[in-house]
Amino acid sequence: MTPTGPRRILVTGAGGFIGHALAKRFKAEGHWVRGVDLKRPEFERSPADEFLLLDLREEANCHTAVHGVDDVYQLAADMGGIGYITSIHASLTRNNALINAHMLEASADAEVDRYLYTSSACVYPAEAQNVADVAPLKESDAIPAHPEKGYGWEKLFSEQLTTYFHEERGLDVRIVRFHNIYGPLSVFEGGREKAPAAVCRKVAEAEDGNGIEVWGDGQQTRSFCFIDDCVEGITRIMASGFNAPINLGTDEMVSVDALVDLVTRIGRKQLHKIHDPSKPQGVRGRNSDNSLLLREIGWAPEIPLEVGLARTYSWVWGELKKAGRARPPIPAQSISEPISAAVATPGSVV
């Protein structure tokens, strides 16, 4: 039975992009929220009732974090964009394995009501993602295992560990596989930024008529999920009672070149791409299969890429303007042109 009424909620990783958005949602719904992270949110003050600066690699800190809460949303992780997660496999894997093992142990010991673990599409096998026109990834595709080195292996291991705690300790778990979450308040520079935020920054800083760097040949494909849809999906999945891994992402697949073209159009600039094949670019293609999400949750992400990117670009441009780095024109709040020319449909690559 889904609990009703106000909850006492722990959000780990609450200093980060998704964790901060979750804390805002829960406070707006009238819940009591404890946020935990190594850092506070970068762009806004946390709405949490209590914010603890704790290193969750230490087990004692995990017990402190879960004390007195009903629900745990475990988002704490050492992570970032493709350049970051492909450069520090040993320390990243160690850090995340410690965080997840200790958080599960502490949550089971505390007998929390519900525990949600946030995994990643990086758990899927490389051989299922070696072409740009990739088939959508089903949850069952993760096994037999061949995930991305470092981050992907750790996420898949932690999914299994979460399942074992459900089977053997009775912890009521949810396991969510994110597919490229983006939106306002995400980091857009410094090495940990994801592709949408990085492209928004590059376009915002570029003089009209100049070029911008694009990692790889631009034909690699992805789907991207806007933060509002991500938060909505997390809350619905937690309420569902579904314990197995489940995708949370859109099935609106685009090439990186198409992503750049769309942001350039949103920014109302004429820019040419300068491709750098030497930079990390990850798997060749990745897209989310939402069949299980629709069947078990009765919902799928709804915000089109063009809408989410317009909101993200406007916010990134505004942040860069504060530092004197944004270049005109001032962005519109939305765009009216259809995205059809930029979206990769099955059987084609743009």
Is residue 151 among the annotated active site residues? Answer: yes
Dihedral sign, Cα of residue 48, residue 51, residue 56, residue 62: negative
pLDDT at 3: 73
When pLDDT is averaged across residues 193-199 and rounded to a whole number, the result is 95
Cβ contacts of 147 within 8 Å, gap of 6 or more: 122, 123, 124, 125, 126, 153, 155, 156
Residues 94-123 have pLDDT tens digits of 999 999 999 999 999 999 999 999 999 999
- Tell me what percent of the residues of the chain surpass a pLDDT of 90: 88
pLDDT digits (tens, 9 = 90+) for 74-92: 999 998 888 888 888 999 9
Tokens of 161: 């560990």
Domains of the chain plus CATH, in order, are 8-181+227-248 (3.40.50.720)
Spatial distance between the Cα atoms of 155 and 97, rounded to a whole number of angstroms: 8
Query: Which residue is catalytic, options 115, 117, 151, 313?
Result: 151
pLDDT at 335: 45
